[in-house]
Homo-oligomer: A and B are copies of this chain.
Amino acid sequence: MDKYEQVIELAKRRGFLWNSFELYGGTAGFYDYGPLGSTLKRRIEQIWRETYVVQEGFMEIEAPTIGIEEVFVASGHVGGFSDPLCECKDCREAFRADHLVEDMVACADALNVEELDKIIAENNVRCPECEGELGESYEFNLMFRTNIGPGTGRQGYMRPETAQGMFVDFLRLARFYREKLPFGATQIGKSYRNEISPRQGVIRLREFTQAEAEIFIDPNNKKHANFGRFADTVVNLYSEEAQEKGIVEKISLGEAVEKGTIAHEFLAYQIGLTNHFLKRIGIAADKLRFRQHLKDEMAHYAIDCWDAEIETDRFGWVEVVGIADRTDYDLKAHANVSKTELSIYREYSEPKMVTQFVVKPNMGKLGPLFKGKAKAVADALKVLTQEELEQESITVTVDGEEVTVPGDVVDFAEETVKISGENIIPHVIEPSYGIDRIFYSTMEHAFAEEMVGGKEEDEDEEARNILRFKKEVAPVQVAILPLLTREELITPAKKIESQLKQKGLLVSYDDSGTIGRRYRRNDEIGTPYSITIDYDTLEDNTVTIRDRDSMKQIRAPIDGIEDLVYEMIYMSREFESAGKAL
């Protein structure tokens, strides 16, 4: 068993992850979060919210997961969001064409379907399932399609990312934030990709959770007001240059901006924030790096992109967050398709006097001449130069038709006007998180097997599985363990459970099996603290608290125990300071 198998086995057995539709044989690309998995996932999402929504102030919105066609025409997903698909003519099994030839050629994923078919033919590649003949490859769109409404209803798609919801709401958001840049919005929600044949378990899902922020900033000012927070933070940077050498560089974000490795402060701040978040939820610092997109893999419109990558045992370095400066690409794309200006008005600190060439079509004359087309003709005239307008008769094109206009229906002049502001299209900085991959990495990095015990003469050494979750992330933060299932122990145990719950802590009450077995069970699900209620409790109102990692035990009073545990979990209070060592 490799580590992936070990973690997934534990995850299934203990209620973190279950194969979806297991009762019906399952379907690739779908996982259920069980009770503990769902709680762990929500803890991760909650810390993400604290980071981006509460602290950074990028308010969360919730747009539908079903989208209409126009949105994805604008975003480019209808046209270009696809993988090359190759089907077996015999067994009808479908494969990623690039995966079929990846051992025969470098960069298979950069080839088009004609190139892929050529390599398949040259190498006589056959169906990996049945050795049958393969058909021609074609581009398969990865969006799940559906129809909205009956009959002549509209084409709909399950969104492939949450981002478009924020772009489509841009004007509403700009008004909400009173048009003051920078502002941002976030979403945490489901996204969908109809993968051709997903084979990487929880790493490649057809339905997954994203947490994305779209931050709208001034294109002329990409400094960050709070950059000082991360200027000295040292991260593992795998820049384009570093990738050529194959060596990850440890460098401070301030230096990386200064050297021009990272395009600007605002992007570097986002890398710092991602680094901070991932470590806070328990990603191992030495298994985390930021890899820059190479020139030829970066989208043509982007200025600079970095992926946070996490090292995993089976899959190597896995991309979990993308951080990009997408410029004004998205807003322009939606402006074009929707025929709506997506910009904000920025007032100058003081008005400017500007000399400009002004064209004034005479509507009194144009009206009778062109009737319904007069407005269109006027618009066409407005963009002409002085030279063109000085002709005796002027030719403009309206609705594809040439129209001749007498020179005297239009006035023009150089005028000096006062301008107090301008419309600008903000640039977009986007950190985009794949929550499921982060969830899995958190489990894998927390997972350990170790031998414990064997120190006392009568004690056998035994193996224990342990999930060393960060305390604030653990799905169960405290286990309440009455030594025996006797009324006199159950009563105080239940009382402590309720005290801790009131404090907002995640508590589990567990009274089945020996105390040793219950400790192991709680180690395995990563419970930081276990509280045992025994017969001494009835005498002196104290309980035993056991620390998951050190397995040390202390004795502490019941009175105020909820504050004690709260402080140990959220306020770095030392375990040893919380009671008398045993």
Contacts and interface: CB of A to CB of B under 8 A. Distances in A.
A78 to B, nearest CB: 13
Interface in A1-53: 15, 18, 20-24, 27-39, 41-42
A168 B20 CA distance: 9
Contact of A22 (B54, B60, B65, B172): B172
Interface in A132-183: 140, 144-154, 156, 158, 165, 168-173, 176, 178
Interface stretch (A66-74, A115-123, A283-291, A385-393): A66-74
A170 B18 CA distance: 12
Interface centre among A24, A59, A190, A512 (most CB of B within 10 A): A24
Contacts of A173: 35
A66 B68 CA distance: 18
A38 B173 CA distance: 13
A65 B168 CA distance: 23
B150 A147 contact: no
Contacts of A85: 150-151
B147 A207 contact: no
A15 to B, nearest CB: 4
Interface stretch (A191-199, A233-241, A247-255, A401-409): A191-199
Contact of A70 (B24, B32, B144, B194): B24
Interface in A189-223: 190, 192, 194-197, 206-207
Given A35-B176, A149-B94, A168-B21, A207 B65 contact: yes
Given A41-B62, A185-B35, A27 B148 contact: yes
Interface residues of A, number: 78
Contacts of A344: none
A108 interface: no
A63 interface: yes
Given A38-B60, A185-B35, A190-B190, A23 B171 contact: yes
Nearest to A177: B35
A482 to B, nearest CB: 16
B35 A61 contact: yes
B32 A66 contact: no
Given A59-B39, A190-B190, A206 B68 contact: no
Interface centre among A150, A172, A196, A197 (most CB of B within 10 A): A150
A21 B70 contact: yes
Contacts of A158: 66, 146, 158
A260 interface: no
A148 B194 contact: yes
Given A24-B70, A55-B501, A206-B66, A151 B38 contact: no
Contacts of A194: 147-150, 153
A23 to B, nearest CB: 5
A87 interface: yes
Nearest to A93: B152
Interface in A313-366: 334, 337-338, 340
Contact of A197 (B42, B149, B169, B178): B149
Nearest to A207: B64
B23 A38 contact: no
Interface string A507-523: 00000100000000000
A92 interface: yes
Nearest to A91: B152
A66 B207 contact: yes
A146 B149 contact: no
Contact of A30 (B36, B64, B171, B178): B64
Contacts of A24: 68, 70-71, 168, 337-338
Nearest to A62: B33
A504 to B, nearest CB: 8
Given A34-B169, A68-B27, A145 B148 contact: no
A340 B23 contact: yes
B59 A35 contact: yes
A372 B73 CA distance: 58
A150 B147 CA distance: 17
Contacts of A512: 178
Contacts of A196: 149-150
B27 A154 contact: yes
Given A148-B194, A150-B94, A32 B20 contact: no
A61 B38 contact: yes
Contacts of A30: 64, 66
Contacts of A31: 64
Given A24-B337, A32-B64, 9 more contacts: A21-B70, A23-B168, A34-B61, A34-B176, A66-B207, A144-B146, A145-B146, A148-B206, A149-B194
Q: Which 8 A-B pairs have the closest CB atoms?
A: A35-B59, A33-B62, A24-B70, A15-B176, A144-B146, A64-B207, A94-B150, A32-B63
